[in-house]
Chain A
């Protein structure tokens, strides 16, 4: 049976329908979960989509972290289930402490909306399990606060534990070590700034996003 994947909607989230469509396209049963809900019992995996959760008030993700649903997301993540945060979802995961570091404003001082070439760093994460390290994929990015930042000790830990998932080929936002996506130590929680849900149809510029969701769905079966 197709795995059921929950797509969390905070007030201000705006990429949820694209994610639901992408997951459906690849054979998963996706459903929207309102941020006030706490019941994730029948979810095999969770996606926190992009947007501006709670208006990005205070800092992106800072308020979303306190939404009711997040305690269930944390529990699900700790149980080893796949959790993917995309763009604003990545920011929520760092604020919630599920991923280390933070996303600061782009170093070029501009909002960036462009296609981005990425290199897959590891196949250990739940979204890159079907890809090879060194493989190149192209996904759109669309952010103002996408400049991944962490201290040296955290960066070393990310490298030592194989937690860097994707790197920008042409670091567009000043991220430490060109990091575009990281995972937690176990590899089941992934945060990425690029938008795979916007790259699932040739018509809109490519289908490299499909392999990200295919990986997520595959790991949701286990």
Chain B
């Protein structure tokens, strides 16, 4: 089966996020005073082949843990895992 997975990587709380701070300042400049915080992160879309959804989820989690994120600074989440016709 072909799958498409979306992995989200976000900085842990307390890790310095200058891009988030800069965007937050711009959001305030835009006039949206109700926004309290902006956090930046990364999003990865992986196309892969696997026996079934569980196998695909395992592979994606391993890649996210070993490469896409650094456990000292970041948390990851496999956000979507869908069977894909175009993978």
Contacts and interface: CB of A to CB of B under 8 A. Distances in A.
Interface of A: 58-59, 62, 94-95, 101-102, 104-107, 109-110, 147, 149-151, 174
Contacts of A58: 67-68
A193 to B, nearest CB: 15
Interface in B1-48: 15-18, 21-22
27 contacts: A58-B67, A58-B68, A59-B70, A59-B73, A62-B67, A94-B72, A95-B70, A102-B70, A102-B72, A102-B73, A104-B15, A104-B16, A104-B73, A105-B15, A105-B16, A105-B17, A105-B18, A106-B16, A107-B16, A109-B16, A109-B18, A109-B21, A109-B22, A110-B18, A149-B73, A151-B72, A174-B16
- Determine which residue in B15, B17, B21 has the highest number of CB atoms from chain A within 10 A of its CB, and name it: B15
Interface of B: 15-18, 21-22, 67-68, 70, 72-73
Main secondary structure of the interface of B (DSSP, over half): loop
A109 B72 CA distance: 19
A187 to B, nearest CB: 22
Contacts of A151: 72
B7 to A, nearest CB: 12
Contacts of A62: 67, 70
In the A-B complex, the 8 residue pairs with the closest CB atoms: A109-B18, A102-B72, A105-B16, A104-B16, A102-B73, A104-B15, A107-B16, A104-B73
Given A95-B70, A102-B73, A149 B21 contact: no
B68 A101 contact: no
B72 to A, nearest CB: 4
Nearest to A147: B16
A7 to B, nearest CB: 26
A106 B15 CA distance: 10
Contacts of B21: 109
A101 B16 contact: no
Contacts of A102: 70, 72-73
Nearest to A173: B16
- Determine which residue in A62, A147, A149, A151 has the highest number of CB atoms from chain B within 10 A of its CB, and name it: A149
Nearest to B71: A102
B72 A149 contact: yes
Contacts of A110: 18
A102 B22 CA distance: 23
Contacts of A107: 16
